[in-house]
Amino acid sequence: MSGDKLELLASLSKLSPEDFEGNEVERLQFISAAQKVVNALQTNEEKVYDVTFTQPIVFSALQICVDLGLWEAWTAAAGNTKTVEELSKMTKPQADPNLIRRLLRLLGSVGIIQEVGEDTYSATRFSLALGDKNSLMPQSIQCRTHHWQDGCVNLPKYLAKIGYKEPQDAKDSNYADWCPEKLNFFDKCVAAPAYQDSFSGFMTAWAKYKLPWPEFYDTKSLVEGADLTDGGVLCVDIGGHHGVDLTRLLNKHPELPAGALVLEDLPEVVSGAKGLSEKITVLPHDMFKPQPVKGSRAYYFHAVFHDWPDAVALEVLKNVGAVMKKGYSKLLINDIVIPPTGTSSIQATMDVEMMAILSAYERTESMWTNLVTSSGFKIIKIWKDGRGNESLISI
């Protein structure tokens, strides 16, 4: 290998997220370029080995270490360098040292942890997060075990079963096809609290990663045009989970009065909303029932409509349209808008995952236009997040 290539490798290996602080787009461009380099350099045999052999077993090793409490114990020990023997003694129940050796050898080879010597490992930023429940990484791992894994494995069989038609039935879905109780995704979350908890953990972690919507949408004009006297409401976050988006709005506009922000979601979901500002009203509500808050300045949906095919989404829009004040109320949809070309990996993954789990999809701009106009609305503007992942559709 030439000196130039060695110098380039040494330089790239030292990069970290901190090197791109304040320039998130550049960081994502580097990741995309690096992935393209890997794809270009891999042989067909290496690629198929990675996809079919490495990725599934790496996840299994991660889940086993979660189940054994290894990540949590190691993080509690400040992630200090440990031997296999020391790490095996941290597991509950205590696992065979050679079993732990084999798992750690795998995880070290793919960068989950760092090998520093024979049978000796140090923690990484990611493995430390796996041991910290507040990071929501353990819940995200569990979410794949609960939801994504079986759904993805079952998808080829399910599509063959329905004649390779695009899934459109929210009830008779691929998820319900593999689920032992034949429940769809949301019904399973209601029936099994642990499944709801892992999903909530994943969703909260992913929501924190996303660019806050007040950073790329003009919330100032929204607030300035609002009448908040006599208990007027500025924003109703429908299907708002644990209130991350309303909290971000309040952080930008701390002067908002109590009651101006309303968080709505199913009772099983909003019961998990902890530590919210007293200014945010929590209102358990099923969005398929009539909207109880009338005349709000804005009705906001974040990653809600991608859960539902058009026929179902229209029901929700109808309920909101019935209570909006003409010329005053706004409908804000924060979601993915699939571009004509250059769809990101995150966008494309989310699209097919929605098909596998919910018989739903991410929409192109023309699909959003069709949905919105079918509801009697009109798109005013699409605000892009700058990352190339989500947009905010102002209606």
Catalytic residues: 306
Q: How many CB atoms lie within 10 A of CB 149?
A: 16
Contacts of 88 (CB under 8 A, 6+ apart): 94, 95, 96, 97, 99, 100, 101
Q: Which two tokens stand for residue 327?
A: 């010329």
H-helix segments, 84-123: 84-89, 97-109
The 8-class DSSP code of residue 135 comes to G
- Looking at this protein, which amino acid is placed at residue 25? V
Q: Tell how strand 120-122 and strand 330-335 pair up.
A: unpaired
Q: Among candidates 326, 306, 332, which has minimal Cα distance to 235?
A: 332
Q: Among candidates 201, 195, 55, which has minimal Cα distance to 138?
A: 201
Q: How far is CA 188 from the centre of its chain?
A: 18
* Gap between the Cα atoms of 137 and 144, Å rounded: 11
* Gap between the Cα atoms of 20 and 282, Å rounded: 37
Q: Which two tokens stand for residue 192?
A: 């099994």
- Looking at this protein, which amino acid is placed at residue 170? A
3-state secondary structure of 331: strand
* Gap between the Cα atoms of 206 and 196, Å rounded: 15
3-state secondary structure of 176: helix
* DSSP per-residue codes, 11-51: HHHT--GGGGTT-HHHHHHHHHHHHHHHHHHS-HHHHHHII
Contacts of 184 (CB under 8 A, 6+ apart): 170, 171, 173, 175, 176, 358
